[in-house]
Structure 1
Amino acid sequence: MMLFNNEPILLDIKDAEIIYYPAFFDPIEADTYFNTLLTTLDWQQDDITIFGKSVPQPRLTALYANNEKPYSYSGITMMPQKFTDSLANIKTKIESETHHKFTTCLCNLYRNGSDSIGWHADNEKELGANPVIASVSFGATRVFHLKHRTDTNLKQKITLQHGSLLIMKGKTQQHWLHQIPKTKKPTGKRMSLTFRTIY
């Protein structure tokens, strides 16, 4: 039986500030939010360009914010919708813990092990220098990979649990890349809510 543990884990990683909360939301909260957001968010699948070819993005996304500022990445520009009550409540709880105000949430839905996101950094210009990224995970467990941009010996894996919170801040986005790779293991739906501040 897994005990409910919301004690933060500060990862000892060079050139990064990363904090992991294995159970930021209790199991009942996490189940409720997952089921609600799965059916109420306006999920979409955009095309991305890879090696000059347009292909469907291997996951579904949705963008919500408390402003009307767009968010652009990988050649995609998304216009936000207003925060739903559930997203606003999640944002408030994260802000209370981090003492940081977020404006925007990029939501990702990984439908199965074939859905993924490749190596990248959350370093878009509109996020400013040294952005704080707060990522909530609901649903199936997936492995989050990190690798240092210049020191190839520096790698890290974090198993992101249902109801967990991962905070990346400081110079993390300058020095590290991250991904959620595909997996051949049978796995259910996973949702990540990535809160950020657009200036």
Structure 2
Amino acid sequence: MSLFAEAPLSLPDADLCLLPAWQSADVADTWLAQLLEQTLWEQPQVRLYGRLHPVPRLVAWYGDPEARYRYSGLVHQPLPWTPLLQQIRDQVAAAVGQPLNGCLLNYYRDGQDSMGWHSDDETELGPEPLIASLNLGGTRRFDLRRKGQTRIAHSLSLAHGSLLVMRGPTQHYWQHQVAKTRSQCAPRLNLTFRLIRSPA
């Protein structure tokens, strides 16, 4: 894939590419402002050790009608694409050379909003899923570690307008997180596009 030929990240048993400036600042600014205004945000609760806790960020799941997706123990019915999300989806799909039928939006309002360690390895995504992660707003650190290990093996700074693509065996061998931080950081919006192959 020529688009990513100059941006690979070298990790064993992984296939990652980062395009730090996939979109210009002007386009990224426009997308960020419109998406924050148009998205139907929710803050679902997950059950941990018998108690319900709100997830530490706002989320929304958009997609084709059949793109039901199970994560965090919940089955999510997709909201219909907005014109802007459809436009962005088409651009990302063209960039990665694969159809994409769903998008999970995560809104990190400040440094205390976070995403814990996980892999995007749900059955619905198939054995070697492609995850295309578009980042808008404040820069946050993205950590990777080997499954079964506790040590962070690699970290990336995901900046405004950047596109991170994970594919191949990555989700089988690696986990990732966006940790809480006490550092000052602007609100961040992350869009992860994927292909639901067998809906929940």
TM-score (norm 1): 0.93
Q: Distance in 1 between matches of 2:157 and 2:6?
A: 14
Q: Is the Cα contact below 8 Å between 1:147 and 1:178 reproduced in 2?
A: yes
Q: Distance in 2 between matches of 1:192 and 1:19?
A: 16
Q: Distance in 2 between matches of 1:50 and 1:165?
A: 32
Q: Distance in 1 between matches of 2:91 and 2:137?
A: 19
Task: Tell me the number of residue pairs that the alignment of Structure 1 and Structure 2 aligns.
Answer: 194
Once the two structures are TM-superposed, the CA of residue 68 in structure 1 deviates from its matched residue by 3.1
Q: Is the Cα contact below 8 Å between 1:104 and 1:195 reproduced in 2?
A: yes
Q: Distance in 1 between matches of 2:16 and 2:32?
A: 24
Corresponding residue number in structure 1 for 2:74: 76
**Where does 1:82-101 land on structure 2 (aligned, <5 Å)?**
82-101=80-99
Instruction: Letter of the 1:180 partner, please give it.
Output: V
Corresponding residue number in structure 2 for 1:34: 32
Q: Is the Cα contact below 8 Å between 1:8 and 1:22 reproduced in 2?
A: no
Corresponding residue number in structure 2 for 1:48: 46
Corresponding residue number in structure 1 for 2:136: 138
Secondary structure at 2:46's aligned position in 1? strand
Once the two structures are TM-superposed, the CA of residue 52 in structure 1 deviates from its matched residue by 2.3
Superposition CA RMSD, Å = 1.5
Corresponding residue number in structure 1 for 2:164: 166
Q: Distance in 1 between matches of 2:48 and 2:149?
A: 26
Corresponding residue number in structure 1 for 2:17: 19
Instruction: Letter of the 2:172 partner, please give it.
Output: Q
Secondary structure at 1:92's aligned position in 2? helix
Describe the superposition over 1:20-79 as per-residue Cα deviations: whole angstroms up to 9, x where unpaired: 000111000000000000000100000011222210110000011022332111112211
Instruction: Letter of the 1:80 partner, please give it.
Output: P
2:114 to 113, 116, 141: 116
Corresponding residue number in structure 2 for 1:196: 194
Instruction: Letter of the 2:114 partner, please give it.
Output: S
TM-score (norm 2): 0.93
Q: Distance in 2 between matches of 1:82 and 1:121?
A: 25
Mind listing any 5+ residue stretches in structure 1 that lack a counterpart?
Answer: 1-5
Mind listing any 5+ residue stretches in structure 2 that lack a counterpart?
Answer: none
Q: Percent identity?
A: 39
Q: Is the Cα contact below 8 Å between 2:67 and 2:101 reproduced in 1?
A: no
